[in-house]
Homo-oligomer: A and B are copies of this chain.
Amino acid sequence: MFSNDSTIRAGVLGASGYIGGEVMRYVALHPNLRLEFATANRDAGRPIGDVLPNLRAFFPQEFLSADAGEARAGDADVVFLALPHSESQDVVPRLAARHPDTTWIDLAGDFRTPDPDGFAKYYGGPHRAPDLLDRFVYGFTEGQTDALPGARLIANPGCFATGVLLALFPLLNTGMLSDPICVTALTGSSGSGREPRPTTHHPERAQNLRAYKMLRHQHLLEVEWFLNGRSDSEIRLQFVPQSAPIVRGIFTTLFLPGKPAEAVLDLMETAYGASPLIDVTPASPDLRVVQSTPRAVIGVAGAEDRGAVVFSAIDNLGKGAAGQAIQNMNRALGLAETAGLDWPGGYV
């Protein structure tokens, strides 16, 4: 279909938010992608470079309105949806039916599980396109080797979900997981999006730490659904997200009490040995090494008389959003997995 020499026409809906803006950056970095259109409803008509000055030299175009973008949808081979919470479930039914050959990659929480009841519970209301739910492939790339090639509807995982799955997935059905599964994940402020709010107000965030949505974060839905669909025994997480005074990144800690760290490390190395964007290290990762990149680092440590701990480090906007979206697109369209993703971040 596409090869590593193809030019692939891309559209981005909701391109001025933090996730959408990062998708735009990844589009600029991808040798095969050519931006066909980008929408930003509040900034329609403004030059992209005025709204995203980091991309001024890369995109001479203006942002389209949502309507104008929909009208252009047929011009794209792949469309990334980075719309505000719960808008995708209105847009996708309308557009995907009309353009069945386009690949649709949704970065919101709307289509990540086939479970409308779970959606209603965790997202605060009934789903408006329940029939489409089971047509989406959940794009946790490393756990979806078979389902992604050729997929036309892809639901990109949440940022926390990605961090947790990277740490947990290789341990499924290995005897290394036993109840309770205690997990913390520290997140950067860009995870809250572009809209200023008290929890991302600099004076209150800059030297602060706090937890939120303790044991009830909505990403529990997709993580538990994905794992339980592949697990011998029921997986149920004690998950505590926390706000850290950093801009980018998610640092996840998974407790494995009584488990041998060396065996855990072996499982990780086996699982990710062929993954070009994931490093495995017998230590704690430094989050800064993955910031602003599509990469992940998995760390394993332990003490003989206590057990093991697994860490994962990702950029919430990279592997946790735009990076994984591109990775999924590459797989879906038959490109090399790391096309457009094979560049390093800084040491600091």
Q: Which residues on A are within 8 Å of B, measured CB to CB? A: 18, 21-22, 25, 28-29, 52-58, 179-180, 182, 184, 186, 188-190, 192, 194, 196-198, 200-212, 214-216, 236-238, 240, 242, 244-249, 251, 253, 255, 257-258, 276-277, 279, 281, 284-289, 291-293, 295, 297, 299, 301-303, 306-307, 309, 311, 313, 317, 342-348
CA distance A200 to B205 in the complex (A): 10
CA distance A249 to B190 in the complex (A): 20
Minimum CB distance partner of A285 in chain B: B210
Give the most central of A25, A206, A253, A346: most B CB within 10 Å.
Answer: A346
Known: A21-B347, A346-B54. A247 touches B306 (CB 8 A): no
Indicate if the CB atoms of B303 and A216 lie closer than 8 Å.
Answer: yes
Known: A210-B286, A253-B211. A245 touches B202 (CB 8 A): yes
Q: Which residues of B contact A208 (CB under 8 A)?
A: 246, 286-288
CA distance A255 to B267 in the complex (A): 26
Q: Which residues of B contact A197 (CB under 8 A)?
A: 196
28 CB < 8 A contacts A-B: A18-B348, A25-B345, A28-B343, A53-B347, A54-B289, A180-B307, A186-B209, A189-B203, A189-B206, A194-B203, A196-B196, A196-B198, A201-B202, A207-B247, A208-B246, A208-B287, A210-B251, A212-B284, A214-B284, A214-B303, A214-B309, A236-B306, A240-B253, A240-B309, A242-B253, A248-B348, A292-B292, A317-B346
Indicate if the CB atoms of B286 and A53 lie closer than 8 Å.
Answer: yes
Question: What is the CB-to-nearest-CB distance from A208 to chain B, in angstroms, rounded to a whole number?
Answer: 4
Minimum CB distance partner of A277 in chain B: B57
CA distance A216 to B283 in the complex (A): 13
Known: A28-B344, A307-B180, A346-B54. A257 touches B279 (CB 8 A): no
CA distance A134 to B236 in the complex (A): 44
Known: A180-B255, A206-B247. A211 touches B28 (CB 8 A): no
Q: Which residues of B contact A192 (CB under 8 A)?
A: 203
